[in-house]
Amino acid sequence: MDSFNNVKQWLQEIDRYATEGVTKLLVGNKSDLTAKKVVEYNTAKEFADSIGIQFIEASAKDSTNVEQAFLAMAQQIKERMPATGAAGGEKDKVNLGRNVQDSSGGCC
């Protein structure tokens, strides 16, 4: 319960120190320990909804929703990125190859 009670403070620190519009996701971890559950799903979900962030329960132990948490973050980041297309011009291109210049002489 201590972690859940600290979420508001952590979010305030994120708002204070992170860039504006940073992507946030509330993850309830150790969802595999149902007998030891302290914060109910509905309580955490209602809290996340009240502050406008997504909530997901996950368990690293049994891999429940771990990938989904990363995909949810990636989707949110993708949605916030400006659309780029052909109009972006040459400055948006990255050359992954290396220019090879002819050498004059030598064995290689």
Instruction: Identify the CA nearest to 68 among candidates 37, 32, 25.
Output: 25
Cα separation of 13 and 55, whole Å? 19
What are the domain boundaries of the chain? 2-82
Per residue in 15-38, pLDDT (tens digit) is 999 988 899 999 998 888 888 888
Cβ atoms within 10 Å of 54's Cβ, excluding its own: 17
Q: Which long-range contacts (CB under 8 A, 24 or more apart) does 18-22 make?
A: 21/80
Q: Regarding the domain with residue range 2-82, which homologous superfamily does it belong to in the CATH classification?
A: P-loop containing nucleotide triphosphate hydrolases (3.40.50.300)
Per residue in 43-83, pLDDT (tens digit) is 999 999 999 999 999 999 999 999 999 999 999 999 888 86
